Amino acid sequence: MKCLNPTVRMAVFPSLPPALAQTECAACPLDERPPKPCGQVTASGGQGTTRTRHALGPTPGLVRITYDMYGIPDRLDCFYKGVLVASTGGLVSGTGTLQWTYAPEPSDPAWCLVVMSAPNSGTAWVYTINCPS
């Protein structure tokens, strides 16, 4: 194995090929769909990743998430203001309950985001985000 000599430095300069022009990236589009109301069942029967926003309203309280991943394991992660607030912590099967404390400030979003990861074929899952109480 041949190693590089640590005293040799190469200069790297950014450049664009003549046919390409530098552009600015457009802002990412926001999810315009309204959040799903809390207290409703969310279900899927397929493999892949599903992201669903859930309305929580202005009232603080304990948010309970009940789930059933059936026999083929899946993962549930719940985010509020971009922070992971509840998770199965990995792939799980069967039923369970997660909970977290919802304490919104006046300018905070009134919804959370659930990311379901279902990497295995033949999977099915169901969960419910209960309204804060």
Where in the chain are the domains?
41-129
For residue 2, pLDDT beyond 80: no
Q: What's the DSSP call for residue 124? A: -
For residue 67, the model assigns a pLDDT of 97
Among 43, 99, 89, residue whose Cα is nearest residue 69: 43
Which residues share a beta bridge with 29? none
For residue 66, the model assigns a pLDDT of 98
Kindly report the CATH number that applies to the domain delimited by 41-129. Answer: 2.60.120.380
For residue 104, pLDDT beyond 80: yes
First to last CA, the chain: 63
For residue 32, pLDDT beyond 90: no
Among 96, 68, 102, residue whose Cα is nearest residue 83: 102
User: Could you tell me the pLDDT band of residue 24, with boundaries at 50, 70 and 90?
Assistant: low
pTM of the model: 0.75
Amino acid at 129: I
